[in-house]
Homo-oligomer: A and B are copies of this chain.
């Protein structure tokens, strides 16, 4: 496969904080980025802003156009609507590496908690809905605030990359390594994605207690 630096990265839901933060870093590193949104106009507005911040090559399209144009696609959609959006993009995403970074969480007066997902996890739901794609899961715990701030030149974080397709997880690890300071680490099969997604609730609890933008590092690796 071509190296990630020759690929066009699509970011479905690139107008949200998590997708936007990653898009800024990828574009800043010289990768070609296509922002996707339900509205092509909002995608183009976000792309212009991200291009300005990153100094990179960023364009915007509606989600279908983004999925069709990109070589590799990050799913950074809201959990509410995740299934319906992916189902509608099955053809555009066929044959491509898809990276799901969605965290199905609820919030109540006691704070964040993991929502049950019938398929086990958002990533497994994506796998079920996109039988012709190469589905991986990664980038769950990135701090959107830290990513969007390019003055942070060393992002202190390991990105866990999950999936059953070795080549696909290797490509996604490369995509993590593009962000200065970040390491992409293989984190297990897709059937072990639930706890990685759900762990975002713990990260949020840690952030609240310690007033931090917490991330994970894997030791001894």
Contact B192 A114 (CB under 8 A): yes
Tell me if A218 counts as interface (CB < 8 A to partner B): yes
Contact B209 A186 (CB under 8 A): yes
What CA separation (Å) do A221 and B192 show in the bound complex? Answer: 26
Q: List residues of chain B with CB within 8 A of the CB of A212.
A: 220-221
The dominant DSSP class at the A interface is mixed
Contact B216 A188 (CB under 8 A): no
**Known interface pairs A192-B114, A192-B201, A201-B192; A187-B206 also in contact (CB < 8 Å):** yes
Which size class do A's interface residues fall under?
A: 35 or more
Contact B216 A221 (CB under 8 A): no
Q: A137 → chain B, closest Cβ, in Å?
A: 11
What CA separation (Å) do A191 and B112 show in the bound complex? Answer: 10
Q: List residues of chain B with CB within 8 A of the CB of A153.
A: none
Contact A220 B216 (CB under 8 A): no
Tell me if A39 counts as interface (CB < 8 A to partner B): no
Tell me if A107 counts as interface (CB < 8 A to partner B): no
Residues of A160-191 contacting chain B, CB below 8 A: 160, 162, 185-189, 191
Contact A195 B201 (CB under 8 A): yes
Contact A221 B210 (CB under 8 A): yes
Pick the contact of A220 from B162, B205, B209, B214 — CB < 8 Å?
B214
Q: A169 → chain B, closest Cβ, in Å?
A: 10
Query: Apart from A188-B205, A210-B220, what are 13 other A-B pairs with CB-CB below 8 Å?
Result: A112-B192, A114-B192, A114-B195, A186-B206, A192-B198, A195-B199, A196-B202, A210-B221, A212-B220, A214-B218, A214-B219, A214-B220, A216-B217
